[in-house]
Amino acid sequence: MINGGKPLSGTVQISSSKNAILPIISACLLTADECIIKDIPGLDDVFVMCDLISSLGSRVEANIRKRELYISTPEITGHTAPYELVSKMRASFLVLGPLLARAGKAKVALPGGCPIGTRPVDLHLKGFEAMDAQIEYGNGYIEATARTGRLKGSRVYLDFPSVGATENLLIGAVLAEGCTSIENAASEPEIVDLANFLNKMGARIIGAGTDTITIEGVDRVHGAEHAIMPDRIEAGTLMTAAAITGGDITLRNVVPEHLKPVTAKLLEAGMEISESLSEIRIKGVPRPFPLNIKTHPFPGFPTDMQAQFLALMARAQGTSVIVETIFENRFMHVNELRRMGAQIRLDGRTAVIEGSENLQGARVRATDLRAGAALILAGLAARGTTEVQDIHHIDRGYEFIENKLQRLGADIKRM
């Protein structure tokens, strides 16, 4: 429940990254030794991922106060990622790589679609076939086996720089026989964090963060300690909250480099932004300038910030255009924003937004994680009360979002 119209102010600490920790938890399957993961975010998806690897043989302990996970996998005792988990959280598909690498076989449910798109996994599977895995389909599952019991290093070209496919193949290549190069790889910061963790385990990876990643397979890897990188999308979301309310906030525990495309667009919209090594201060303006935005793989403008910026542009002084090039149906938030008075025209993957002075509070529904975040942002700026329903979507990717916003002066509470 949000009563809008209050400019945010103060300082907020950013949590560590959901999209970095999920593949890193999966990578712990590669070794019998203990891995210690620090600065974990308290997110539903983290615990789902821990449940999944536990069902595959991992021992997982969490010290919530110290925000640490202790994971060791003496041996792989299960090889199946069941439909009920994969359909709930697509990242479950990321156990395919480590299972093939460590145990030579895996049975993983095909992730169904989700609100933002069909989200196929063909690039993951094509890559593993190139690494000498045999893939069989049946009853909504894929069964993968390394033909000789061990994946073989290979050159893999990704038709699209898929984040998940890059992560799955990267983890799988660590224990493969020989060298693998992943070309047209995704270069998101979360992939660099994963590669850093794998190299601490004794993997031999170069090029993470570029479009070509080279992995020299090793026979085994050992345990490692790793602190997860800050969540650039949570940071971008809170920066946009300051922008849409005309506030003035300082974010702590950020990597400004990871936010360059978001910062560039907020500056273009008229915000004032200053950066230090691990902090960003942003001052909003009464009404943002309109923007033209096209989402792209990193280092382009992130699709995970598209919904939040669409909410911001609903208040711009002019007409904005946002093109979503990554997912085919990532405009579920548009209908809900229209209920708050936003003037938005959709044409396929293009949204045209006529900015208006004020949004009105309304009862709206979160359809997916970032759409839910966008509705909170709109509620913070709207006149009157906004009630956002189905907020479990939001809890998947934002830790205590209402507490962080309350501390910044927002009138928001969880019912």
Enumerate binding residues for ligand EPZ (CB under 6 A): 19, 22, 90-91, 117, 119-124, 160, 162-165, 303-304, 326-327, 369-370, 397
* Helix, strand, or coil (residue 209): coil
Least distance to ligand EPZ from the beta carbon of 238, Å?
A: 15
**Between 132 and 304, CB nearer to ligand EPZ:** 304
**Between 362 and 401, CB nearer to ligand EPZ:** 401
Residues 6+ apart with CB under 8 A from 228: 16, 17, 20, 21, 24, 37, 38, 39, 40, 41, 193
Least distance to ligand EPZ from the beta carbon of 123, Å?
A: 3
**Between 246 and 397, CB nearer to ligand EPZ:** 397
The backbone torsions φ and ψ at residue 16, rounded to the nearest 5 degrees and listed phi first, read: -85, 170
**Has 114 been annotated as catalytic?**
yes
DSSP string for 234-295 = HHHHHHHHHHHHT-EEEEES--GGGGHHHHHHHHHTT-EEEE-SSEEEEE--SSPPP-EEEB
**Between 137 and 160, CB nearer to ligand EPZ:** 160
**Between 6 and 124, CB nearer to ligand EPZ:** 124
Residue number, nearest CB to ligand EPZ: 164
Residues 6+ apart with CB under 8 A from 223: 31, 33, 34, 35, 36, 72, 201
Cis upstream peptide for 299 (omega within 30°): yes
The sign of the CA dihedral 100, 119, 207, 41 is: negative
The pair of structure tokens assigned to 80 is 């199946």
The pair of structure tokens assigned to 31 is 């070794």
CB 123 within 8 A of CB 297: no
End-to-end, the C-alpha distance of the chain in Å comes to 7
Least distance to ligand EPZ from the beta carbon of 234, Å?
A: 10
Other beta carbons within 10 angstroms of residue 106's beta carbon come to 29
**Between 49 and 316, CB nearer to ligand EPZ:** 49
Active-site residue (options: 28, 35, 50, 114): 114
Least distance to ligand EPZ from the beta carbon of 263, Å?
A: 18
**Between 61 and 257, CB nearer to ligand EPZ:** 257
Least distance to ligand EPZ from the beta carbon of 374, Å?
A: 11
Element at 320 (helix H, strand E): strand 319-323
Least distance to ligand EPZ from the beta carbon of 166, Å?
A: 8
Strand order in the sheet with 155-157: 155-157, 179-183, 212-216, 205-206
Beta bridge pairs of residue 280: 251, 275
Least distance to ligand EPZ from the beta carbon of 311, Å?
A: 15
Beta bridge pairs of residue 142: 108, 137
Active site residues: 114
